[in-house]
Amino acid sequence: MRILFLTDKTDIESKINSKLEKISKFLNIDIVHGDIGEAEYLLDIRRYNLIFLDFQEKHYKEFYNLFKVLKSYNEDFSYTLYINFPENVNKNIKETFITHTQKIYKNPNIKFLENQNEEFFFQKIEDSFYKKPDIIERYEIDIDQRIVTLIINNQEFEIKLKSKKDFKVLLFFIQHYGEILNIDTIISATFKDPEIASSSPIETAISSVREVFKKITENNPIVSHKRKGYRFAL
């Protein structure tokens, strides 16, 4: 899972490491301290699952540049964007920003907030990490042992993976059950520096996951879609 924070809070990294200690090794988090240009660059080269933007009135016009980049996400990738307004923001600016944003930005997973603290965002990250897709009847994760337990169509699957990379890849597929994920999206979610990574480790991880599933089911858990990507579907 890849997450972006655009905020002027300088202590957020230490808070993340403290509050999300158990799952942090399975997250790729980029933190940008108020630099709209840097955020725009990262959004252009990476695919994020969760994006938290602390609205800053002084960057009112620059925020619109971000949405031009974010629009391209809608084509092949689902994610959630949170925009957090400070308590003392100019009400007219806030209303104008929301109105204009809703006109140019059609993604239904955009949430406008006011004066939320870090605890709210950390809870959203945990909720997203442990979220059970509707089609999966039971979904449990043992992070320490790298075991995932699933019940799908009344069938129970317990999968134990040795490699952290294999585990990250499987979790990402489960979290996006039924979606066709292209290789760049998978790399972005599972590598710290995806722009310098190759597809080879992902293909190896997919092969490893398939091999583990062979011991418990005849069904191929990760289906290939020619020139499109891969889909988790048992």
Q: Residue 230: what pLDDT?
A: 93
Q: Are 189 and 172 in contact (CB under 8 A)?
A: yes
Bigger pLDDT: 65 or 205? 205
Does the pLDDT value for residue 74 go beyond 60? no
- Give the span between the Cα atoms of 25 and 32, in whole angstroms: 19
pLDDT at 128: 87
Using one digit for the tens of pLDDT, what is the confidence trace for 152-201? 878 888 889 888 889 999 999 988 888 888 888 899 888 888 887 888 99
Q: Label residue 139 by pLDDT band (50, 70, 90).
A: confident
Please report the pLDDT score of residue 104 as a whole number.
67
Q: Which domains does the chain have, with CATH numbers?
A: 2-129 (3.40.50.2300), 132-232 (1.10.10.10)
CA separation, residue 147 to residues 89, 136, 143 (Å): 46, 16, 7
Query: How confident is residue 203, by pLDDT bands cut at 50, 70 and 90?
Result: very high
In the predicted structure, residue 229 carries a pLDDT above the cut 80:
yes
Are the C-beta atoms of 143 and 131 separated by less than 8 Å? Answer: no
Average pLDDT over residues 21-43: 86
For residues 112, 118, 122, 123, the Cα torsion angle rounded to the nearest 10 degrees is -70
